[in-house]
Amino acid sequence: MSTIPETTRKYDLAFARWVRDNVDGGERMNMCMQCGVCSGSCPLGDHMEDGPRKIFMMVRAGMKEAVLSSNSWRSCVSCYNCVVRCPRKVPVKYILQGLGGLAVREGYAEGAKSDNGAFGRAFWKTIVATGRIDERTFTIRYFYNVGGMTGLIKKGMANMHAAMGLVKTKRMPVFAMPDKIRKRSELKAILDKAVEIQARRGAE
């Protein structure tokens, strides 16, 4: 059940307040003075529909649907240029990606069905199951998440050259057992609890 408040009118502050209290770094978003250093520093800013500066203004304006439907977070390369350059010390990347995670988990179709959404789900599933990212099993899971067997074959073909290089240099060992931790049930108990705590306080 989503606990993000519905906004009922223009400039409804309920969404902004929720982001402030629940998204990692959100408590500093009010410090944004709309200078645009973040969007200007972004290596893939030109791939974003909005860019972080605009997204922050949209949050303030209560545009929940538009924010959670925006493709902007999907071009975030986690380079942290925006974080170190922001003159007001807004942790831009954390907030933008926090909103992206929200879009994935709340099932906003664009985000959840995107390659990024598929990648994030496959990543987490692999961690919960084995404790480590085995790049072989994880990649297959990701390709499959993108579009079933068709996605698996299509992505597999497109990445064949890269994969062969890794196989040849034993960085993707074909016959070794999948990498995993010993105490998988211990890790699962910890992660289940973390998810339960987040649900309890309705956080991102």
Partner 1 sequence: MSKKYTFYPGCSSEGSGMHLDRSTRAIAPKLGIELEDIDDWNCCGASVGHLEGGRLGQAALSGRNLAQAQSQGPQDVVTACAACYLNTHHTNEDIREDEGFKAEVNEALGAAGKSYDGGLHVRHMCEVLVNDVGMDKIREQVTNPLSGLKVAGYIGCQTVRPFAGTERGGNYAEYDDPDFLDDFIEATGAEAVEFKNKTSCCGGAVSVIDPDKTLHLMKRILDEAKDMEADVIATPCPLCQTNVEIYQKNVNDKFGTDFNIPVVFHSQLMAVAFGLDPIKDAAFDQNIIKADVVMEKAKK
Q: Give the SS3 label for residue 117.
A: helix
Q: Residues, the chain, total? A: 204
> 11 vs 110, which CB is nearer to partner 1?
110
Name the residue among 138, 52, 144 with its Cα closest to residue 92: 52
Q: State yes or no: residue 31 binds partner 1 (CB under 8 A).
A: no
Distance of CA 91 to the CA centre of its chain: 15
- The residues in 110-169 that bind partner 1, with binding defined as CB under 8 A, are 115-117, 119-121, 123-125, 127, 131-136, 161-162, 165-166, 168-169
Closest separation in Å from C-beta 180 to partner 1: 9
The yes or no reply on residue 109 touching partner 1 (CB under 8 A) is no
Binding mask 35-74 for partner 1 (x = CB under 8 A): --------xx--x--------------------------x
Q: What is the rounded CA–CA span in Å between residue 9 and residue 63?
A: 10
- Nearer to partner 1 by Cβ, of 62 and 98: the residue is 98
| Minimum distance of partner 1 from residue 64's CB (angstroms) | 18
- Give the span between the Cα atoms of 104 and 97, in whole angstroms: 10
For residue 22, the one-letter residue type is: N
Q: How many CB atoms are located within 10 Å of the residue 20 CB?
A: 18
Contacts of residue 135, Cβ cutoff 8 Å, sequence gap at least 6:
166, 172
Closest alpha carbon to 67 in 101, 30, 33, 42: 101
The reply to whether 179 sits near partner 1 by the rule CB under 8 A is yes
- Of 57 and 159, the one with the shorter C-beta distance to partner 1 is 159
Q: How far is the CB of 152 from partner 1 (least distance, A)?
A: 15
Query: How is residue 63 written in tokens?
Result: 């545009």
21 binds partner 1 (CB under 8 A): no
Number of H helices, E strands in the chain: 11, 0
Q: Which of 35, 49, 107, 193 is close enough to bind partner 1 by CB under 8 A? A: 193
Residues that bind partner 1 (CB under 8 A): 24, 43-44, 47, 74-81, 83-85, 97-98, 100-101, 104-105, 115-117, 119-121, 123-125, 127, 131-136, 161-162, 165-166, 168-172, 179, 181-183, 186-187, 189-195, 197-198, 203-204
